[in-house]
Amino acid sequence: MSAYIIGRITVTDPQDYQSYAAQTVALAEKFGGRFLVKGGAQMVVEGNCPDRHVIIEFPDRDDALAFYNSDAYRRILPLALSSSSRDLVIVDGV
């Protein structure tokens, strides 16, 4: 069953965040991941939303966790944490 990493992100340092974001696509692909949403224009229709959303599809939860826990991702994670405020979840698909 597919699993998705969903991020709700407010970027606080665009230059540093770009350094992080530029590395995520190739890294996710190594774990079978595919970005479905990566920033992009949005229109808020209800509630309050951060300025950026990300959705990455993986073949299953194990692959999503392998990506998140990988040494390569852990090396770039400090860039994301220091340049943004974010909520990240892994959600199983239907």
In SS3 terms, 7-55 reads as: EEEEECCHHHHHHHHHHHHHHHHHCCCEEEEECCCCCCCCCCCCCEEEE
Cβ count near 11 (within 10 Å): 20
pLDDT band at 54 (very low <50, low <70, confident <90, very high): very high
Structural domains of the chain sorted by starting position, each given as residue range(s) with its CATH number in brackets: 3-92 (3.30.70.100)
Q: pLDDT tens digit string along 62-80?
A: 999 999 999 999 999 999 9
pTM: 0.94
* The pLDDT of residue 22: 96
CA distance 11 to 49: 12
Average pLDDT along the chain: 97
